[in-house]
Amino acid sequence: MSTASTGILADERSLVDTLRLYVAIARPRVIALVVFTGLPALWLGKDVWPTVSVAAQVLMGTALAGVASSAFNAWLERESDAKMARTRNRPLPAASVLPGAVLGYGAFTTVASAVVLYRVGGWTPVAVAMATIAFYVVAYTWWLKPRTPQNIVIGGAAGGTAPLIASAAIDGSISLGAWILFAIIFLWTPPHFWGVAIVRQNEYAAAGLPMMPHAVGEQGTRWRSLGYTLALLPVTLAPVWLGYLGPLYAAVAAVTGLGFLALVIRSLVVQAHRADWQVFKGSVAYLSLLFLVMLVDLTLPWGTS
């Protein structure tokens, strides 16, 4: 589509429609989950909790860093996104917004994230947030994703930094509790994403992206998902062993962890894409519930001290 044919971008689209496009580029569901995983790090192991204002600023700065990462990712992957049914209707491949505008959007939200985080926590959270953006955009999106089937394993580290940013802003350094939350997200990411990679493997191949199913086959990918899930489960219980969280979280983490493990094992046994898709969908519910119960547990009498 030519630039002339997209004149609607500037002249005919309403402000509301334009805002919707930029919200879509930000991938709000992903950002919401990322920010949500940063919440427990604000209170985990703390005798004195931050004020609502401070917590809101930390989460806002974290969200802006996530939006910046999404915008730069959308700009870099606009051509490969156009080749995949799952992504071809996103604003850039659909030619609903100009690439330069998205690049500017990423730059603006990067600066905004740095300003917000500096005001609330100084240079340490800014450094963590900027490193996150750089790693996600350059190391993962630009370098790893088109070159190695291990892309999501290494690049998944960028998705787990919300607790690190939150802890850096509140503590001035990164606490042990925040590192544990990071490890949970890091180990959760491969089985979560590989469910999609198996189901959508032909689309990834058409886009020229080497995913794990292409390297080791579907069943090989499922076995690797099982390995990461088995490594994940004891890490989810580490906050209990360290005294950060109590029996409510311990019970829910154990039960939901076994439930997620059952989904992964079922995908190995059934060897059907419907089971792989259930691993993907179930993983989102599992992580969301895990972090929600962390927050609830922190408000109870046995909370951290």
More confidently predicted of 48 and 219? 219
Look-up of token digits 């989460």: 59
Helices (DSSP H) in 39-87: which residue ranges? Answer: 52-76, 78-81
Q: What is the mean pLDDT of the chain?
A: 91
Q: Has residue 227 got a pLDDT over 90? A: yes
**pLDDT the model gives residue 150:** 87
Give pLDDT tens digits for 92-105.
888 788 899 999 99
Q: Has residue 302 got a pLDDT over 70? A: no
Give the structural domain span for 245. Answer: 198-305
**pLDDT the model gives residue 4:** 42
The answer to whether 293 and 257 have CB atoms below 8 angstroms apart is no
Q: Are residues 86 and 120 in the same domain?
A: yes
Q: Are residues 217 and 127 in the same domain?
A: no
Helix (H, G, I), strand (E, B) or coil at 21: helix
Instruction: Considering only CA atoms, give the Rg of the chain.
Output: 20
Residue 34 structure tokens: 């990322």
In a domain, 270, yes or no: yes
Q: What average pLDDT does range 210-217 have in this prediction?
A: 92
Q: Are residues 166 and 17 in the same domain?
A: yes
Closest alpha carbon to 13 in 94, 73, 133, 67: 94
Residue 247 structure tokens: 């029996």
Give pLDDT tens digits for 241-277.
999 999 999 999 999 999 999 999 999 999 999 999 9
Q: Are residues 260 and 134 in the same domain?
A: no
Q: Are residues 6 and 133 in the same domain?
A: yes
Q: Are residues 303 and 209 in the same domain?
A: yes
More confidently predicted of 205 and 285? 285
In a domain, 266, yes or no: yes
Q: How confident is the model at residue 10 (pLDDT cuts 50, 70, 90)?
A: very low
In a domain, 192, yes or no: no
Q: Are residues 158 and 253 in the same domain?
A: no
In a domain, 189, yes or no: no
Counting the structural domains of the chain, the total is 2
Final residue in a domain of this structure, among 141, 174, 207: 174
